[in-house]
Amino acid sequence: MSEPSIFVDSITYSYGKQQAVRGISFDVAPGEILGFLGPNGAGKSTTIKMLIGQLIPDAGTIRILGTPIKGHNSEIHRRMGVCFEEKNLYLQMSGKENLEFFARLYGLKHPETDKILQQVDLWNRAKDRVSSYSKGMRQRLMIARALLHDPEVLFLDEPTDGLDPVSSKAIRDIITQRAQEGTAVLLTTHDMYEADKLSDRVAFINEGKIYALDTPENLKQSHGKRTASVRIQRGEEILETIIPLDDEAAALKLRDSMSEGRVLTIHTEEATLEDIFISMTGRTLQ
């Protein structure tokens, strides 16, 4: 089997006496999007900081594109894109100047700043100062900056947190497109819809540990309970019956409840990723 783009085995990290990451293992294949879903303080940022060499793990192994990571490694950094919550953009420069500045730092000879500004939908504001940009525009510029050098691995910390739906969608589309082109993506979020929509696989992270790691579909099928709610009218009365669909007798129960009167509505419901997260960890995502 070929080496995954991101390989992590049993990493731990403590801030003084507080253990923030307690033995996390996972991998991400080229072109795959792995979503780290967990509440504040779960250990998501600490994990990413170790992967990008900002923090050195107390124990465990990290390999990015086959190269062992222990602290900063400029060779491998050139092949990574990183977008963190901190907004370290130059506010007095325009969006385009910001990208050109970082392109020089990366040593890029022919940066495709115009193309990327178009991709993140900032082309018509490219010459305006970043100080006049909205939160969503600044975040899109951060993503543009992370993509400027065509990274093979992309790390995104809460990429759409607090953004309007239009900016969020623009960012999701870019992430999906890059993954389709072969970039491995690790993103963190505490938004279950984001994790569900964007990720090929989702890791539930809480108290520095991974509780589950699978496709959103498998997580829902193996841990969630599906139900159907049938509302019928019998004379003046409206009756509602909830029928578990994973029950062997589901078909019979559905037929029986539907024959008791005039069927008004039938809705099926499946557990959300947050429902499953709560049942596994005892915590909400907020």
Residues within the interface to ligand ATP (CB under 6 A): 15, 18, 20, 38, 40-46
For the bound state, the minimum distance from the C-beta of residue 257 to ligand ATP, rounded and expressed in Å, comes to 43
Choose between 57 and 95: whose C-beta lies nearer to ligand ATP.
57
| Residue whose C-alpha is closest to residue 183's, from 203, 161, 156 | 156
For the bound state, the minimum distance from the C-beta of residue 69 to ligand ATP, rounded and expressed in Å, comes to 17
Choose between 2 and 40: whose C-beta lies nearer to ligand ATP.
40
For the bound state, the minimum distance from the C-beta of residue 235 to ligand ATP, rounded and expressed in Å, comes to 54
Choose between 45 and 139: whose C-beta lies nearer to ligand ATP.
45
Choose between 44 and 149: whose C-beta lies nearer to ligand ATP.
44
For the bound state, the minimum distance from the C-beta of residue 148 to ligand ATP, rounded and expressed in Å, comes to 25
Choose between 20 and 175: whose C-beta lies nearer to ligand ATP.
20
For the bound state, the minimum distance from the C-beta of residue 231 to ligand ATP, rounded and expressed in Å, comes to 40
